[in-house]
Amino acid sequence: MNVTQPTSVHPFNVLWLQSGGCGGCSMSLLCADTADLRGHLRQAGIHLLWHPALSLETGHELLDVINDCLSGRVVLHALCLEGAVLRGPLGSGRFHMLAGTDTSMMEWVQRLSAIAQQVVAVGSCAAYGGITAAGDNPTDACGLQFESEQKGGLLGRDWRSQTGLPVVNIAGCPTHPGWVIETLSALASPAPMPPAQLDALGRPRAYSDQLVHHGCTRNEYYEYKASAASASDLGCLMEHKGCKGTQAHADCNIRLWNGEGSCVRAGYACISCTEPGFEEPGHPFDVTPKLAGIPIGLPIDMHKAWFVALAALSKSATPARVKQNASSDHIVVAPMIKKTRLK
Most confident of 75-84, 230-239, 281-290: 75-84
**What's the number of domains the chain is made of?**
2
Distances (CA, A) of 124 to 35, 287, 314: 26, 22, 36
Q: Out of 32-46, 84-98, 238-252, which region has the weakest mean confidence (pLDDT)? A: 32-46
Distances (CA, A) of 44 to 10, 38, 57, 113, 310: 11, 10, 23, 23, 47
Do 183 and 197 fall within a single domain?
yes
| Structural domain span for residue 190 | 12-207
pLDDT for residue 343 = 64
pLDDT for residue 337 = 85
Do 16 and 135 fall within a single domain?
yes
Answer whether residue 2 shows pLDDT above 70. no
Average pLDDT on 29-34 reads: 83
Q: How many CB atoms lie within 10 A of CB 88?
A: 16
Query: Which domain-ending residue is among 207, 231, 257?
Result: 207
Query: Which domain-ending residue is among 207, 228, 259?
Result: 207
The pLDDT mean for the chain works out to 92
Percent of the chain with pLDDT over 70: 97
Please check whether residue 310 lies inside any domain of the structure.
yes
pLDDT digits (tens, 9 = 90+) for 121-145: 999 999 999 999 999 999 999 999 9
Do 54 and 202 fall within a single domain?
yes
Most confident of 124-133, 290-299, 309-318: 124-133
Q: What SS3 state is found at 243?
A: coil
The larger pLDDT score, comparing residue 312 to residue 124, is at: 124
Give the global pTM: 0.91
3-state DSSP percent of the chain in helix, strand and coil, to 5:
30, 15, 55
For residues 77 and 262, what is the distance between their CA atoms, to the nearest angstrom? 32
Average pLDDT on 17-33 reads: 92
**pLDDT confidence band for 183 (50 / 70 / 90):** very high
Percent of the chain with pLDDT over 90: 77
The larger pLDDT score, comparing residue 45 to residue 34, is at: 45
For residues 153 and 343, what is the distance between their CA atoms, to the nearest angstrom? 60
Do 60 and 196 fall within a single domain?
yes
Query: Which domain-ending residue is among 169, 189, 207?
Result: 207
Average pLDDT on 315-332 reads: 92
pLDDT digits (tens, 9 = 90+) for 80-125: 999 999 999 999 999 999 988 999 999 999 999 999 999 999 999 9
pLDDT for residue 1 = 45
Residue 58 neighbours by CB under 8 Å, 6+ apart: none
Do 263 and 144 fall within a single domain?
no
Please check whether residue 165 lies inside any domain of the structure.
yes
Do 181 and 57 fall within a single domain?
yes
- Please answer whether residues 184 and 15 qualify as being in contact, where contact means their C-beta atoms are separated by less than 8 angstroms: no
For residues 51 and 16, what is the distance between their CA atoms, to the nearest angstrom? 5
Do 291 and 277 fall within a single domain?
yes
Please check whether residue 173 lies inside any domain of the structure.
yes
Answer whether residue 35 shows pLDDT above 80. no
pLDDT digits (tens, 9 = 90+) for 188-242: 999 889 999 999 999 999 999 999 999 999 999 999 999 999 989 999 999 999 9
